[in-house]
Structure 1
């Protein structure tokens, strides 16, 4: 096989040729290289970016039927990430995950998933009509973070559901915890199922040996990655990688064409092209530096009174086969505050914006774009916060246990689409949910459509709200009401 030249950036180069030729645009978008753009936006963004904001024509290729630079850029990406085919995605990894599920799953077919999935997985399940079978990930109760699933948990789920068509796992989690994906791939394939991977937080794994193994290297059949999260593409740009042994690549093409806009952003597409080039040609060095900065930050944070930042010490526990050191999870309960309160102080007093906060933790994501100067500023801010808040013998709150996975009464798709009525949360206990309840970020569902609402779930949601954590999923923005199934015929059958 011909060795590909990863210094090439075919799509970016095609756009530059268009710009450098001073091509006169009688095509959309209407701002015409920025000439029709509002001045204050144009002055900030500049002409360069707006000049490459184009539409579909032969010179720059078509995302839906690529034959030129997009085709070549995707082939280079597939080679770089170890896939048989790679698809550029410009509606986020949520869209890639939905496409992944729709490419494999049909109505009433079983898919085994961990409970700490992102809401996009459940959205894909609803769109496909598949039936989810949930696995419970291991949990670190000290910091209140879900880890990952074990191979034993995956095998038990398959043993109990031998008709499952696919298993989906997360590699790594939002907090950087990886499963034993090589062993899981062997188990899944032994049962004749497909292994899908939500690798939103692992687009960098392939490019440095100090990181956990990537899904494609480990034997996954299809995986979705957020290229924009750690490496250098733009927000909303992602990739879907496919192996052809168990996946019909033409089916994936059809699904991607069904879901993606016919007016894709060539700026986002070009950023994927150059991000691949950067990772293959200098990714190891860039990631070495990122890992070094993250480990430096972890050491310094662990020397600050009242704060804790877990690292490789969790490796070897159930559900923590490996760990991505670029994730800095700062546990603040030793200061007597929540992760949300720590995030609030960092954002409002120090103008430092973390990635997310939960009940006990604030997560800072390190990437190839971080600098020593910025990391030192974060550490100084945390030291000042500790000096203000730390007290000896502070009463540390105990991690709340996530509610038990509730009974699934109806398929998620049916419950989502059928007749419903809104009830106050406290009056919904015992009903079948028509909506989601989830802590966001990271978007992990506490309750999914089709599941029986329990008192434990409602009490957990109220505690989350009291802690000023974001609960989403309901049509009611204040999450005071939740829609429940109101189909009398169904309710009589399922009562």
Structure 2
């Protein structure tokens, strides 16, 4: 392959060439460049619909790329410092699942923190891999799960020397980073692959003075949500591999679940966004860091909120902090994070990323404007004045250590009974209950339901958290493993 430049965007350029040829389409999609669906074309725009095309020789094929997609993969790998990069159009969920399924077969162990995204536990249901959970550290003041302690990881490895891999969640939704380099070196010392769910860490590869990226510390695989901080379209991500992980085998695993009709809108957005970050990423993320720090400083002038940052570092479970994240503790104004989230949306027309029981997260990117940051700060000050109260009776934790009784796959496919959720304590859950976002399970398949968990779920309902995961859409019943 000829030397490629980060100035190029091979998929975008191929689409532009194809469009200029005015090819008559007797293939799918059936809207035929938008002509067959006027309302859709009016809504999304003719330019968009003309780029929504099918795989063909000039445009390559995502399942087995040999030309423009293959070139785009080379450029992405180079930009991220990886051996290879795969374009993922089923979201980072499919990238996480592909990592775990590449590393582990049915019955093989994987070490992971319990505060993983549901996609990681879903992959255990699909693959039959066995989780060895490491409980994350917990900040009792903020009520948030942290990273994994190196000593806890060491213990898990020594007690499970037959484990095939370890999964690191880095950074967490709140911006907390584990000691990835030390964990990676320790895992490699024992012949284990290191997989990193880096959904919220795209910018680590391009910004200056940000936490270490997975590839930079020698991790074997990483799933990267370009659509979060990287600027591509929703549902588009990269799966990066390193070291001795097989390109061919990983692609086979990806093709087990990823669509055979890869969207060229998503593919080209990844290609264009990679080019933008490779050329301008350092400048972009310096601006984002500066905006986040400015907003953090202004929020911390409002008595009662705490926008936290690197002052939390402890050298272990909070090894580093992502300063682009605007994470704000709200309990001292007497409101749960999700209550502030709802007020911001319903009364101030401000949509932030998420609010949970104690904190909220505003996602800041280069697309934000200074006046929008000022509006957020002013709204938070006014919410405190209008709604602030004593914090009595508020839950102060975001993580409950689980009692794991059986594997997620075994529990999910077991014969099951349906119980009112209020009467389910003592039973083993065969399904998830979680708040979304962030999508970290309160209880997962194979875990025992406790009174503490039920109280937590009820409190989440009272505070307006969006609960999901159960077969029952109202979260009033739960499926339990039949005794």
Q: TM class, shorter-chain normalised?
A: over 0.9
Q: Is the CA contact 2:336–2:394 (under 8 Å) kept in the aligned structure 1?
A: no
1:422 to 404, 418, 422: 418
Match of residue 400 from structure 1? 397
Match of residue 469 from structure 2? 473
Secondary structure at the aligned position of 1:204 is classed as: helix
Distance 2:23 2:215 in 1: 40
Match of residue 11 from structure 1? 11
The answer to whether the aligner puts 1:368 opposite 2:366 as a matched pair is yes
Once the two structures are superposed, residues 7-65 of structure 1 have per-residue CA deviations (whole angstroms, 9 ceiling, x without a partner) of 000000000111122222221111111111242x3223211111110001001110011
Q: Is the CA contact 1:138–1:318 (under 8 Å) kept in the aligned structure 2?
A: no
Q: Is the CA contact 1:312–1:323 (under 8 Å) kept in the aligned structure 2?
A: yes
1:303 to 301, 304, 313: 301
Distance 2:393 2:364 in 1: 27
Distance 2:232 2:275 in 1: 11
Deviation above 4 Å: which 4+ runs of structure 1? 393-396
Distance 1:386 1:459 in 2: 27
Once the two structures are superposed, residues 238-281 of structure 1 have per-residue CA deviations (whole angstroms, 9 ceiling, x without a partner) of 00000142x22221010111111111110000000011100110
* Distance change (3 Å), C-alpha of 1:394 and 1:161: closer
* Distance change (3 Å), C-alpha of 1:396 and 1:207: farther
Q: Is the CA contact 2:179–2:316 (under 8 Å) kept in the aligned structure 1?
A: no
Once the two structures are superposed, residues 51-96 of structure 1 have per-residue CA deviations (whole angstroms, 9 ceiling, x without a partner) of 1100010011100110110000011001111111110000100011
Deviation, structure 1 residue 401: 6.2
Distance 1:6 1:60 in 2: 19
Distance 2:127 2:388 in 1: 50
Q: Is the CA contact 2:338–2:359 (under 8 Å) kept in the aligned structure 1?
A: yes
**TM-score, length-normalised on structure 1?**
0.94
Q: Where does 1:71-86 land on structure 2 (aligned, <5 Å)?
A: 71-86=70-85
Q: Is the CA contact 2:95–2:237 (under 8 Å) kept in the aligned structure 1?
A: yes
Distance 2:266 2:425 in 1: 45
Once the two structures are superposed, residues 164-218 of structure 1 have per-residue CA deviations (whole angstroms, 9 ceiling, x without a partner) of 1110011111111111101110001111111000000001101112210100111
Distance 1:401 1:103 in 2: 31
Secondary structure at the aligned position of 1:59 is classed as: helix
Aligned residues: 483
Secondary structure at the aligned position of 2:58 is classed as: coil
- Mark the runs of 5 or more structure 2 residues left unpaired by the alignment: none
Deviation, structure 1 residue 458: 1.9
**TM-score, length-normalised on structure 2?**
0.97
Distance 1:86 1:253 in 2: 10
Match of residue 359 from structure 1? 357
Deviation, structure 1 residue 472: 1.9
1:280 to 278, 281, 285: 278
Bigger drift between 181-190 and 16-25 goes to 16-25
- Mark the runs of 5 or more structure 1 residues left unpaired by the alignment: none
Computed over aligned residues only, the root mean square deviation of the Cα atoms, in angstroms, reads 1.6
